[in-house]
Structures are given as structure tokens and as C-alpha cells.
Structure 1
Amino acid sequence: MQYFYIVQPGDTLAAISERWRVSLTSLVAANHLNSPNLIFVGQQLSIPPGVFRYRVKSGDTVYSLSQYFRVHPSIIIQNNQLKPPYTIYVDQLLFIPPGMPYYIVQPGDTLHDLAIRYHVITNGNRNIELLQHVNQLPSPYIFPGMWLQIPYSPPGGNDKIAFTASQNGNYDIWLYHSKDGTIIQLTNGIADVFSVPVFSPDGKSIAFVGRERLLYVIDLENDRLSTIDQFHMNDDLHIAWSPNSSTLSYTTRNQIIFYQLTSHAAQSIKQTGATNVQWFPNGSEIVYQAPDENGISQVYRILVNGTERRLITNNTNGPLHAIQLSPDGDFLLYTTPGASISLIHTIELSTGTIFALEGGPLAKNYYPRWNPHSQTIAFSATAYEELGYFNQIRTAEKNGEQETIHALSNCFASPVTWSVDGDKIVYLSGCQGQEFASEIWMIDLNDPVPIKLLESDLTIISLNWKP
């Protein structure tokens, strides 16, 4: 449910956004405000997910913190289960939300107005039925003083998002439907913590590596599961589809494998240490990472028949990870050097020019993904480690410019995936500490309000939007 902050004397939207580490753009959009300067005392503002944590400093009291955050002391007391005399301790980490998870009905309010104002919209229509259901209202009639929970509404449409999740210790591939927010389980205990569902470009199949490192393909149209191959213990588990959806490529046993699904024939290119195979859009050439003769990580391109291998990078530093070719084949991105420090770079293949993304404040930038138009990269940047674990959902242009923070997740890092039209980003949140996520969120870059798509008792690991 959405949290609501009551505007206090002296408040400005800029101060509120800074207090909760929320994007000012998202705050304006979340409340359908015509101007960021036009707020009034007593107004109830929906606050998008931010940093609702505070680490106690010397001299802090519940009362002083309630004054600083401009919330009632009971909010701090109740959310942290404090007992009289409500003593707090230096370095104690408190959860301080920006208000209460309900809206207080004002004179003149209607469910129709509230649905528009707070984005309870499905398929472009106000989802009055959802508001009634969540609040157990027998009719659309509401009256001043009533407390209403304002839910997040499924966006509608026919989009589908595949994700890997665990329930009772068993990992499986699931499918989320944007039409009504429902999910269905596609497998039965054969996925694993490292499984990433990868759609074929035509959207008809999903490939993933599951338990025992077996490579599976789900035929969505015929509801059929096939086992393709088995990876070795230390193999790279990245898999990629050919542009025409007929062939899977992956690396195992020091080979690059091309497996043709209809004929079940396989071809291979011998290459020690190869990882991260990616297809050029022409379907006749790939890129991959492999060590050079000096053992230094490089990126190469080669025809699928194993000829005309060419070096792309001239790396002299650490290993290159997360190799990704842009959908148009003109740019390449990679991260380096590792996990504790992860920086994102892009290369313009025609010139060899390298661009660096600024990234987050801690230099921990993960899960970069090209948007379908090859112009923008979305990624997760870890931030605010002193307050727990959070990451910023960021985008940057392919040359590293116009880097923007769009949303905040309360996970150390979050996989991201783009909608087919390149306007929306889906990411994970709902983590407890460094644990895995339990929520799926979406933000529309044209209407930047974070929308919760799914809140569940599942442990969610990875996700991908259906083409």
C-alpha cells in the first residue's frame, strides 16, 4: 500500500524529497501535481519508495527525530516496537516511514478522483473495483474522515514477465501477467538460485539453466519442456538466442556451442575460457569474452562458422564481465573489474571509442541492460550502505551522458529488464538486509511513478520481460 505524508508548515517538495531520498520528479508524478511549488499545509502526499531508515546519533530522541522527519512520534514508536520510556541507542537502525499506509478521506473526495490522483489505473481506466475490494467497501460511496488504503494497481495490457523464484526452498520459473497481476508457475522444482529465464526473440520459448546445471527450454505454445545439455561445475551459465529464435548459444567444456532446436544438431568453436556469448543482429556473427595469450580478459568477435576472429578490446586491467551487445550491434557494454567494485563501460565498435558511465556513489554498479532501441542502459547502483542496503535504478545514454536516478529499491542490487517499447523498467525490491527480493516493481520513464506489480511470499531472484 502507498504511504501518505501530511504536509507541515514550512515544507517544500524539495525538502520532502531530500528527507526521504525520493526523486523529486517521482514525487510530483505520484501525486499528479501541476507544479512542485503548489503544496499546502495538511495536504496528503503519496511518497514513493525511498530510504525510510535512520541510524541513531548521539543526542537523538524519539521526539527530536519526529520533529526532524515531521511525523508523529507514534509512527517511530510503532514501527520499531519501542517500549516505554522509548529509549533509543546510538547506531540503532530505525525504520521511519513518511507517514501511515492509508489516506484520510477529505470533503469532496470520491473513489474516482482518488484513483486518478494516486495512479490506481488498469488499462488506462480507474480501478474502482480494486479500491473497493482492498477496503472492503460495499459501494463506491466514501465519507470524510474515512481511512482508505490506496493499493498499487496492475497496469493492464498483455505483457508478461518471466522470473525465477523460490517457494519453500524449491526454485522455479514463473510468469507474471500485466493484464490482472496474476502469476503462474511454469516448472516444478527444477530451477536453481542461479537460474535466469531468457526469452527467445519471438517470445515463444524460455531457456534457463536449472538444477544439476541442466539447460532447459520451455516451449510456451505447446507447454513442453526439453532438456538440451548439462554444464560443468565452473562453466559460465550465460545463454543467448540467435536473432531468428532457432539456435541457442552457450559455453561449456572450453567450447562455444550452437544448438539448433528443430534439428537437435550442435556445432562448436573451440575456445578456452570463453563466456558471455552474444549474437550480432545479422545472425552470422557473435561476440564473447575470453583470455588472450597473456591470460588477460578480452572481447572478441567471430563468425559462427569459426572464421574471421577479431579482437574488440585492448584491455590491460582486470576481468571483463556482463558483456552485452546493443540490439543494433553498434555498441558493446561490460563491467569491470569485479563485484566489490563494478564500473560500467561501453565501446563504439566502429571507432573503438570507450565511454565510462559515472555510476552510483559506491562504485557498485550491477545488472546493466540495453533498452530495445540501443540508446540507453538501465542498471542498479548500490547506495546508502550505512542505512542498510539500497540500490538506485539508474539510466544513462550509451555514451555515458544524461545519467538519471529513477527509483529506489531496498535491495543491495537488483536485476532490471526493459519493456518492449523501451519506456518502462522492471526491477526487484522487498529485500530484508542482503536477502533476496519478494517484490517486483515497474517505473514508466514517461510517467515516473514506481508501481508495485507483485508482492508475494516468494523469494525472487531474476526476471526478464517477454519480447
Structure 2
Amino acid sequence: MQMFYTVRSGDTLFQIATRWELPVDSLIAANNLLPPYTIYIGGQLSIPPGVTTIRVKEGDTLFKLSQYFGIPQSIIVEENKLQPPYTIQAGDLLNVPPGVPYYTVQPGDTLYQIAKRFNVIVGGYINPEPIRIVNQLQTNVIYPGMKLKIPYTPPFVSGIIAYTSNREDGYDIWLFYPCSGKKVRLTNQLADSFSVPFWSWDLRKIAFVGRNNILYVVHLDDGSVAKIDQFEAELGIFLDWSPNNQKLVYTKNDEIVLYDVTLHQAQRIREPAATDVQWFPNGDELLFQAPDSAGFSQLFRIKTNGLEKRVITRNTEGRLNNVRLSPDGTYALFTTPGASISIIHTVDIATGNTVEVSGGPLGKNYFPEWSPNSLHLAYSANAFEDRGYFSFIRSSGRKGENDRTWAISDCFATPITWSPDSRKIAYLSGCNDQGTAREMWVVDIKHPVPIRLLEDLQITSLQWSPPPNY
């Protein structure tokens, strides 16, 4: 349910957003405010998920915190299950929610107006019915002073999201249809916590590495599952489908493997320490990471017959990780040097010119992915060192321009994925103490209101289907 903050004297949108580390644009979109974005004392604002954890400082009291955040002390007490005399100590971590989980009806309000203001949309249209249902109202009649829960409603989007979850009796690959909320289980105890689904371009097959490090291909037309290969290690195995949807490419035992899933034949190209191999859109060349003759990690391109190998980058520092080729084949991205510090760079394939993306505040930027139109990249940036685990959901242009935050996850880091129309970013949140996500969210970069799509026991990865007829 949406959370609501009551505006106080002196409040501005910027101040309210700053308290919970929110993008101002997200706050504006969540309430459908129009220029000049005026807010009024006593008015209620829907507050998107933000950074709700604070570390208590010397001199802090519940009264001071309630005054700063503009919420009643009772909310902080209830949220943190504090007992009388409600003392707090420097260094304590407290959860400070941005208000209450209900909207108080004002004179003149109608259910339709409330639905319009707070983005209650079904099938692309404003619809007050979810508000009526969740509050068990017999009619659409409401009265001033009523307290209404305001639900999030699924966005009207195309495509299917494949994800990994232990929703039932083990990890499996599932399909989620954002428009309808329908969930379909694809496998039967074949996946593992590290499994990542990889869509074929024709939307008819999904490949993943599952239990016992076995590479599987699921044929969506008939639900059949084929075993393709097996690996010694389960982590960091990247798979990519050929443009004609017939072959998978991956690396194993110092070789690039091109596996024809129809003929069940494998072609191999010897490339020691190669990783992140993937197809150029022409289907005749491959991109991959490997050390050069001096031992420096570089990006290379090579013909699928193993000839005409060419170096793209001029790297003289750390290893290039998480390499991803843009769908149009003109740019690539990578992170470097490792996990504790992870900086994203993009490289122009034609010139080798490399640009650093400014990234999040701690230099810990993970799971970068290109948008289907190749104009943007999105990623998860670890946000804080002393307030618990949170990450910013960010995007930038392919030359690092317009780098900004769209939403906030309460996970240390989260995989992300783009919608087929390149407008929406899906990500994971709802992390528990062990850091495992339980929720899937989406934010529209044209109207950045974070919307929860689903909640499950555990979700470890997700991948939106590519545009049809790509």
C-alpha cells in the first residue's frame, strides 16, 4: 500500500524528498503534481519507497526525530517496537517510515479523483475499483475523514518477465505477465539461486544454468526442457542467443562455444580466459573479454569462424567485468576493477573511445544493462555505508550523460532489466536480513512512480523479454 505524509508549515518538495533520499521527480509523479508544484499545509502526499533507516546520533531523541521528519512519535515507536520509556542510543538503527499507510478523505474528494491523483491505473486507464475493493467499500460513496488504503496497481506494459524464485518446492524459472499479474512456472526444481534466465530473440526459448551447473534450454512452445552442457562453476556464466535464435554462445575451459540447439552440435574457438562472449547483430562476429599478450584485460571482436580477431579497448589497468554489447552493436559497457569498487564505463566499438559513468556515491555500481533501443544503460548503485542496505536504481546515456536516480531498493544491490519499449526498469527490493529480495518493482522513466509488481518468497534474478520481431 502507498504511504502518506502530511505537509507541515515550511515544507518544500525538495525538503521532503531529501528526508527519505527520494528523487524529487519521483515525488512529483507519485502525486501527479503540476507546475509550479505547489503543496499545501495539511495536504497529504504519497511517498514512494525511499531510505527509511537512520543511525541515531548523539543528542537525538524521539521528539527531535519526529520533528525533523514531520511524523508523530507514535509511528517511530510502533515501527521499531520500542518499549517504555522509549529511549534511543547513539548508533542505533531506527526505521522512520514517511507517514501512515492510508489517505484521509478530504471534502470534495471522489474515488475517481483519488485514483487519478495517486496513479491507480488499470489497463492504461484511471480506475477507482482497486481502492473500493481493498477497502471493502460497498459503493463508490466516500465521506470526509474516512481513512482509505491506496494500492499500487500493475502498469500497462508489454512483454513477459522471466525470473528465478523458490516460490514453491525449490528454485525454478517462472514467467510473470505484468499486465495481468499471471505467474507461470516453467521448470520443476531445475534452477538454483544463481540461475539467470536468458531469452531468445524470438521469445520462444529461455536458457539458464541450473542445479548441478547444468545448462538448460526451455522451449516455451511445448514446455520441453533440453540439457545442453555442464560447467564446473556456477557463478558468472553469461549466455547469449544468436540473432537467428538457433545458437547459444558461452565460454568454457578456455574456449568459446557456439552450440546449435537444433542440430545439437558445438563449434569451439580456443580463447584462454575469455568471458562474456556475445553476438554482434550481424550474426557473423562475436564480442568477448580476454587478456592481451601483456596480460591486460581487453575487449575483442572475432569472426564466428575464429578468424580476424581484433582488439577494441586500450586498457592498462584492472579486469573488465560484466561486459554487455548494446543491442545495436555500436557500444559496449563494462565494470572495473572488481566488486568492492565497481565503476561502469562505456566504449564506442568503432573508435575504442571509453567514457566513465559517474555512478553512485560509493563507487559500487552493479548489474548494468542496455535498454533495447541502445540509448540508455541502467544499473544498481550501492547507496550508504552506515544506514543499512539500500541501492539507487539509476540510468545514464551511452556516453555517461544524464546519469540520475529513478528509484530506491532496500537491497545492497539488485539486478535490473528494461521493458521492451525502453521506458521502464524492473528491479528487486524487499530484502531481508540475509539480503534476499522478496519483491519485484518497476519504474517508468517518463513518469517515475515505483510500482510493486509482485511479492514472492525469494527472487534472485529477472529478465524482461526482448521486443517482438527485434
Partner residue of 2:160? Answer: 160
Q: Distance in 2 between matches of 1:463 and 1:234?
A: 17
Partner residue of 2:329? Answer: 329
Partner residue of 2:58? Answer: 58
- Per the TM alignment, residue 292 of structure 1 is displaced from its structure 2 partner at its CA by 2.3
Note if contact 2:383-2:390 (Cα within 8 Å) is conserved in structure 1: yes
The reply on whether 1:211 has 2:211 as its aligned counterpart is: yes
Which has the higher mean CA deviation after the structures are superposed, 75-84 or 27-36? 27-36
Partner residue of 1:307? Answer: 307
Q: Distance in 1 between matches of 2:398 and 2:433?
A: 32
Partner residue of 1:198? Answer: 198
Partner residue of 2:459? Answer: 460
Partner residue of 2:432? Answer: 432
Partner-residue secondary structure (3-state), 1:78: helix
Partner residue of 2:146? Answer: 146
Note if contact 1:163-1:461 (Cα within 8 Å) is conserved in structure 2: yes
Partner-residue secondary structure (3-state), 2:412: coil
Partner-residue secondary structure (3-state), 1:10: coil
Which has the higher mean CA deviation after the structures are superposed, 95-104 or 230-239? 230-239
Query: How far does the alpha carbon of each residue in 1:346-404 deviate from its partner, in whole angstroms, 9 at most, with x for none?
Result: 11121111111111110000011111111111111111221101111111111111111
**Structure 1 regions of 5+ residues with no counterpart?**
none
Partner-residue secondary structure (3-state), 1:452: strand
Residues 294, 448 of structure 1: CA spacing in aligned structure 2 closer, same or farther, 3 A cutoff? same
Q: What is the letter of the counterpart of residue 149 of structure 2?
A: Q
Note if contact 2:158-2:420 (Cα within 8 Å) is conserved in structure 1: no
Partner-residue secondary structure (3-state), 2:272: coil
Q: Distance in 2 between matches of 1:184 and 1:36?
A: 45
Q: Distance in 2 between matches of 1:113 and 1:234?
A: 51
- Per the TM alignment, residue 12 of structure 1 is displaced from its structure 2 partner at its CA by 0.9
Q: Distance in 2 between matches of 1:455 and 1:234?
A: 26
Q: Distance in 1 between matches of 2:169 and 2:235?
A: 24
Note if contact 1:389-1:434 (Cα within 8 Å) is conserved in structure 2: no
Partner residue of 2:87? Answer: 87
- Per the TM alignment, residue 87 of structure 1 is displaced from its structure 2 partner at its CA by 0.7
Q: Distance in 2 between matches of 1:36 and 1:77?
A: 36
Partner-residue secondary structure (3-state), 1:278: strand
Residues 94, 236 of structure 1: CA spacing in aligned structure 2 closer, same or farther, 3 A cutoff? closer
Paired residues in the alignment total 466
Identity of aligned residues (%): 52
Partner-residue secondary structure (3-state), 2:396: strand
Partner residue of 1:419? Answer: 419
Q: Distance in 1 between matches of 2:267 and 2:107?
A: 71
Query: How far does the alpha carbon of each residue in 1:162-191 deviate from its partner, in whole angstroms, 9 at most, with x for none?
Result: 111123672111111112223222111111
Q: Distance in 2 between matches of 1:182 and 1:137?
A: 25
| CA-based RMSD | 1.4
Map 1:179-328; keep pairs closer than 5 Å.
Answer: 179-233=179-233, 236-328=236-328
Partner-residue secondary structure (3-state), 1:385: coil
Partner residue of 2:351? Answer: 351
- Per the TM alignment, residue 92 of structure 1 is displaced from its structure 2 partner at its CA by 0.5
- Per the TM alignment, residue 433 of structure 1 is displaced from its structure 2 partner at its CA by 4.1
Note if contact 1:346-1:354 (Cα within 8 Å) is conserved in structure 2: yes
Note if contact 2:194-2:234 (Cα within 8 Å) is conserved in structure 1: no
- Per the TM alignment, residue 157 of structure 1 is displaced from its structure 2 partner at its CA by 4.4
Note if contact 1:127-1:153 (Cα within 8 Å) is conserved in structure 2: no
Query: How far does the alpha carbon of each residue in 1:180-231 deviate from its partner, in whole angstroms, 9 at most, with x for none?
Result: 2232221111111111001101111111000011011111111111111111
Partner residue of 1:110? Answer: 110
Map 1:161-176; keep pairs closer than 5 Å.
Answer: 161-167=161-167, 170-176=170-176
Q: Distance in 2 between matches of 1:41 and 1:269?
A: 68
Map 1:14-53; keep pairs closer than 5 Å.
Answer: 14-53=14-53
Note if contact 1:93-1:387 (Cα within 8 Å) is conserved in structure 2: yes
- TM-score (norm: length of structure 1): 0.97
Q: Distance in 2 between matches of 1:19 and 1:288?
A: 43
Q: Distance in 1 between matches of 2:158 and 2:60?
A: 50
- Per the TM alignment, residue 131 of structure 1 is displaced from its structure 2 partner at its CA by 1.6
Q: Distance in 2 between matches of 1:168 and 1:465?
A: 22
Map 1:3-22; keep pairs closer than 5 Å.
Answer: 3-22=3-22
Q: What is the letter of the counterpart of residue 197 of structure 1?
A: P
Q: What is the letter of the counterpart of residue 260 of structure 2?
A: Q
Note if contact 1:235-1:251 (Cα within 8 Å) is conserved in structure 2: no
- Per the TM alignment, residue 36 of structure 1 is displaced from its structure 2 partner at its CA by 4.9
Q: Distance in 1 between matches of 2:279 and 2:112?
A: 48
Q: What is the letter of the counterpart of residue 98 of structure 1?
A: P
Structure 1 residue runs of 4+, over 6 Å off? none
Q: What is the letter of the counterpart of residue 412 of structure 1?
A: F
Partner-residue secondary structure (3-state), 2:171: strand
Residues 429, 17 of structure 1: CA spacing in aligned structure 2 closer, same or farther, 3 A cutoff? same
Note if contact 1:13-1:36 (Cα within 8 Å) is conserved in structure 2: no
- Per the TM alignment, residue 253 of structure 1 is displaced from its structure 2 partner at its CA by 2.0
Partner-residue secondary structure (3-state), 1:441: strand
Note if contact 1:232-1:253 (Cα within 8 Å) is conserved in structure 2: no
Which has the higher mean CA deviation after the structures are superposed, 276-285 or 260-269? 260-269
Note if contact 2:194-2:235 (Cα within 8 Å) is conserved in structure 1: no
Which has the higher mean CA deviation after the structures are superposed, 50-59 or 289-298? 289-298
Q: What is the letter of the counterpart of residue 20 of structure 1?
A: W
Q: Distance in 2 between matches of 1:392 and 1:140?
A: 38
**Structure 2 regions of 5+ residues with no counterpart?**
none
Query: How far does the alpha carbon of each residue in 1:311-352 deviate from its partner, in whole angstroms, 9 at most, with x for none?
Result: 112222111100111111111111000000000111112111
Note if contact 2:314-2:352 (Cα within 8 Å) is conserved in structure 1: no
Which has the higher mean CA deviation after the structures are superposed, 288-297 or 446-455? 288-297
- Per the TM alignment, residue 234 of structure 1 is displaced from its structure 2 partner at its CA by 7.0
Residues 421, 235 of structure 1: CA spacing in aligned structure 2 closer, same or farther, 3 A cutoff? closer
Note if contact 2:370-2:376 (Cα within 8 Å) is conserved in structure 1: yes
Which has the higher mean CA deviation after the structures are superposed, 300-309 or 264-273? 264-273
Partner residue of 1:374? Answer: 374
Which has the higher mean CA deviation after the structures are superposed, 410-419 or 131-140? 131-140
Note if contact 1:236-1:252 (Cα within 8 Å) is conserved in structure 2: no
Partner-residue secondary structure (3-state), 2:300: strand
Q: What is the letter of the counterpart of residue 141 of structure 2?
A: Y
Partner-residue secondary structure (3-state), 1:141: coil
The reply on whether 1:71 has 2:67 as its aligned counterpart is: no
Which has the higher mean CA deviation after the structures are superposed, 33-42 or 100-109? 33-42
Residues 113, 201 of structure 1: CA spacing in aligned structure 2 closer, same or farther, 3 A cutoff? same
